[in-house]
Amino acid sequence: MSHFEKNRRIYEEAGVAAHYARAEGLQPAEEVIAREHDEELRAASMLDVGVGGGRTTAYFGPKVRAYLGVDYSEAMIREVRRKHPAFADRLHHADARHLDHADGTFDFTLFSYNGIDYVEHGDRVAIFAELRRVTRRGGLFVFSTHNLARDDMPFRWERSHGLFAAVLGAVRRARLRATNPEHASFAKAPHAMVNDGSFVFRAVTYHVRLGEQVRQLHEAGFSDVVAYSGRTGRRVDLGGEPGDPWLYFTCRGA
């Protein structure tokens, strides 16, 4: 079974969908990006991909000119429709690799909460190409992704305060190393599928380095790439390698 299907099945679980439905508020980088593009967003036709439990629906639904939210999990769509009944007819089950929309339909496309990281590399490339297709030329694409250069990569040995914490940390790291036999190669890889313990070690998550992510966006037909710290929302140098667990990006359809 592919990582795509394994991860999708996790997101179909009622408990997981309910968990995401409880999430509220924008991430720091999302707040910054929303302020920077406020006037543009108010006039935009928006596609909200990986809408989950409706965290972003609550903010962008009333803000943009026209809103459409999609998710590959039917359980998530049920939750977001329940939570935001006013947008129920604008929330649909869909596969981001194959969207049923004409070229250049949307002014603003969002894929938040690292949702794009729960597919394999080939599917990720296909999703970027599809989102470029449905985003108009000059339109805004925003997304977040896990950072392979993160400074809290769970395979690293770190000093713990207290014996109990040290033992728990050692057990967790041992399990992570066992579930990621190629972890030694991650230090030099441009991207990797990592079991970082999410969903009780059941999910595998795509991690990517900043420079590689910029390359992928250019290859998909996006330009004007800007990166933001997932922790603070501040812009980061595209030539650097920040240690944030995840990064946000904005770019334009070229």
Over the stretch 46-63, which tens digit does the pLDDT of each residue have? 999 999 999 999 999 999
% of the chain surpassing 90 pLDDT:
79
pLDDT tier for residue 168 given thresholds of 50, 70 and 90: very low
Query: Which segments of the chain does DSSP mark as H helices, in order?
Result: 3-11, 14-21, 28-36, 38-42, 55-63, 74-83, 121-134, 163-179, 198-201, 210-220
Query: What pLDDT does residue 107 have?
Result: 99
What does pTM read for this prediction?
0.91
pLDDT for residue 186 is more than 90: no
The mean-pLDDT minimum among 2-6, 90-94, 236-240 falls in 2-6
Give the span between the Cα atoms of 129 and 218, in whole angstroms.
Answer: 10
Average pLDDT over residues 84-95: 98
Quick one: tokens of 53? 């439990």
pLDDT for residue 178 is more than 90: no
pLDDT tens for each residue of 127-159: 999 999 999 999 999 999 999 999 887 655 454
What would the CATH number be for the domain defined by 3-147+207-253? 3.40.50.150
pLDDT tier for residue 235 given thresholds of 50, 70 and 90: very high
Q: Give domain limits for the chain.
A: 3-147+207-253
Query: What pLDDT does residue 152 have?
Result: 80
> Would you call 164 exposed, middle or buried from its count of C-beta atoms within 10 A (0-12, 13-18, 19+)?
exposed
Question: What are the residues whose beta carbons fall under 8 Å from the beta carbon of 35, sequence distance 6 or more?
Answer: none
Question: What are the residues whose beta carbons fall under 8 Å from the beta carbon of 143, sequence distance 6 or more?
Answer: 110, 111, 112, 115, 116, 248, 249
